[in-house]
Structure 1
């Protein structure tokens, strides 16, 4: 008896990379940047033109301290950013993370994988970082699951915390602190101590 179809195809690799201005011209980028479902819980609206996308990348993404394209098989299918919080007591110690993924890739682990990779990268790049936090709209159960799967701890609901598209919104606060991050790293064994 002959098997049909052969072995299952491997999933494309999920990577993070810096954006370039030419990303706005990519069909993959516009597939999520122009989708109202993707930006439902964001401050900005979906892009309606390539010019809007180019301006956003040039004015906001490129000068941002840490903004990466989430790529699947080399194509940008989303983005993730980490922004340091304002200086407190003369030092930086906290940052916030946000992400968005093309609707076609929801529920496939892409956001969780990208978030874990971003956590590793920013904790390695920013030795001052003690706390990484994220807020998810109380109605955005999928984003809350992503944060929990990536190791973030749910802290509570912040009532009427932000105004999104003219409406006050309740948000769920999540955090990952440097000691949580250290506990999650695999420990190499060098034999009995």
Structure 2
């Protein structure tokens, strides 16, 4: 599968962290970091809370970790999932790019997602990941994420309106606030607006000339 190839071979090196494929050895630090209500608060319901070892194993299987049986094709994974690690190898979170739609109309767009262990908040890691992964995906490297080898044109993110920290991350990373989907999602029984941010290829051209 192309998804498996992408998920197990790519490494994105940034100034203060590395995005690499998940490994079986990530299970313990993954579960320890993700089992925090502050992390799950603004995540999709697919992000378990509490985050058990079984949930962690299932995620590693989705990510095609070597030595673990993959999930069935019915569990469609994002195009690529990365563990976020410090330069010394410490696991500090996760990031990914997810395909949108099923008919191919959105084939040159990916949705970015990321989370960072609360112990490492305030270091600018989320901003670095959002900026670095978005720019990597819109570069020539991102061509391997499309079935026809054409470059991606857009990376987008949806942020619950109450998640001001993530909104600031995306703005600092160069994403443009494009609008609000009013009362679009329910989380823990509460309806939330979702703020839409986008980064497109021409934004990078503009940044290069400023």
User: Shorter-chain TM-score: what band?
Assistant: 0.7 to 0.9
Work out whether residues 39 and 100 of structure 1, in 8 Å CA contact, stay in contact via their aligned partners in 2: no
* Residue in structure 1 matching 2:80, options 66, 70, 80: 66
Query: Matched residues in 2 for 1:88 and 1:94: separation?
Result: 13
**Residue in structure 1 matched with residue 138 of structure 2 by the alignment:** 123
Q: What TM-score, normalized to structure 2?
A: 0.74
Cα distance 1:90–1:154, how it changes in 2: closer, same or farther (>3 A)? closer
Q: Deviations over 1:41-92 (max 9, x none)?
A: 1122334432221112213x33531111111121220111111212566561
> Unaligned regions of 5+ residues in structure 2, if any?
1-14, 65-76, 144-149
**Residue in structure 1 matched with residue 200 of structure 2 by the alignment:** 177
Work out whether residues 134 and 173 of structure 1, in 8 Å CA contact, stay in contact via their aligned partners in 2: yes
Cα distance 1:48–1:79, how it changes in 2: closer, same or farther (>3 A)? closer
Query: Matched residues in 2 for 1:24 and 1:184: separation?
Result: 38
Shift of 1:142: 0.5
RMSD: 2.2
Matched, 1:159 2:182: yes
Residue 38 of structure 2: SS of its match in structure 1?
Answer: coil
Cα distance 1:87–1:128, how it changes in 2: closer, same or farther (>3 A)? farther
Query: Matched residues in 1 for 2:135 and 2:37: separation?
Result: 30
Shift of 1:186: 7.0
**Residue in structure 2 matched with residue 32 of structure 1 by the alignment:** 33
**Residue in structure 2 matched with residue 144 of structure 1 by the alignment:** 167
Query: Matched residues in 1 for 2:107 and 2:151: separation?
Result: 7
> Unaligned regions of 5+ residues in structure 1, if any?
1-11, 188-193
Q: What TM-score, normalized to structure 1?
A: 0.80
- The structure with the largest helix share of the pair is 2
Shift of 1:128: 3.1
Matched, 1:52 2:66: no
Matched, 1:93 2:108: yes
Query: Matched residues in 2 for 1:38 and 1:160: separation?
Result: 21
Question: Greater Rg, structure 1 or structure 2?
Answer: 1
The count of corresponding residues between Structure 1 and Structure 2 is 173
Query: Matched residues in 1 for 2:187 and 2:124: separation?
Result: 26
Shift of 1:22: 2.7
